[in-house]
Structures are given as C-alpha cells and as structure tokens.
Structure 1
C-alpha cells in the first residue's frame, strides 16, 4: 500500500473509533464510561512504563541488535579533499 492509502485507512479507522466511542458513551452513560476509562488508563500507563524500562535496558548494552555493533567514525578533509567512510568491508575506487 502507498503512504497516501495508509493515511486514508488510518483516518477512516480513527473516525470509526470516535463514532464507536460516542455510541458507547451514549449507551452506558458517562459515569460508567469514566470508570472504565480510568481502569484502562492504568493498564496503558503500566504497559508504557514497561516498554520504556525495556528500551532503557536494551539501549545500554552497546549493541544495535543481532550480530551488529555500534561504530563511531570521524574524518577530516582539507583543501579540496573529500572523505569517504564506510562502516564495513566496502571499497570506494574514486
């Protein structure tokens, strides 16, 4: 799917979710809907906290995943010189 199609599908889903939410509020009343939203909010917050902690723990290992590692390269060119850098077994024949 193209980016434009995905944006359109996302917009349709968002509108349907808003209509469904409005229908739910009308059916159960705002008081019961507020109670349910509070409980769901706690679970969403806990899930977000767990994902944040996981991200912190995995990012401090120095690895980007799999068999890859982080590489830091610096290069300086003077005059009309150019710098070519590659983070692996690559050759530039210029």
Structure 2
C-alpha cells in the first residue's frame, strides 16, 4: 500500500513539473527573455524564502520527534497518569485521598 502511494506522489510530481516547464516555455516565448529573466529573479527569491522556511520547519519537527523518542515531552497516557523523565526526586500523587509518606 505504501509503495503505491509513493508512486502516485512520484507521478503527480512529475506531471506538475512538466506542466510548470511547459507553462514557463510558453511564457518565455510570449514575453521575451529579458522580461522573463526579471520575472525569474523575483520568483527565485520567493522560492528561496519558501525553501528556507521549509528547512527550518523540518529541523524543528525533527527535533520534536527526537525529543519524543528520547522520552522528553511525552504526554500522559490517561487523565491521572504522570510522566517523569530524567533525574527526578520527590513525591508524585495521583488519585483521590492519597497519602504521601516521605522517608
């Protein structure tokens, strides 16, 4: 199932790429190379900014995933559950009428 999904994305990307190249070719022929070069410079700026944003987003997402794999930022399993990671020392209580005794 996953292999088929990957192929669909691959072919979809190929079709979008060919359509974009065809549209650019028609535009270059219609407008002329000088004006097309100016437009390409502006579009290149926007693509570079979008690429920078995507890379920062990817780095943040990967960092969050790595933290979750290492046991940090793990949400509790149930309403009264608690999650403790790292070096912790002390009393933790869950439930009604709980008595804590420190030794």
Query: TM-score by structure 2 length?
Result: 0.47
How far apart are 1:22 and its partner, in Å?
A: 1.0
**Mind listing any 5+ residue stretches in structure 1 that lack a counterpart?**
73-94
> Residue 65 of structure 2 aligns to a residue in which SS?
strand
Q: For residues 6-44 of structure 1, what are the alpha-carbon distances to aligned partners after superposition, in whole Å with 9 as ceiling and x for unaligned?
A: 544544433332222111001000111110110111111
Q: What is the RMSD of the two structures over their aligned residues, measured on CA atoms?
A: 3.2
- The count of aligned residue pairs is 68
> Residue 46 of structure 2 aligns to a residue in which SS?
helix
1:47 pairs with 50, 54, 61, which one? 50
More helix by share: 2
Query: TM-score by structure 1 length?
Result: 0.51
Aligned 1:1-94 pairs, distance under 5 A: 2=4, 7-60=10-63, 63-64=64-65, 69-71=68-70
**Mind listing any 5+ residue stretches in structure 2 that lack a counterpart?**
72-103
Q: Which is higher, the Rg of structure 1 or of structure 2?
A: 2
More strand by share: 1
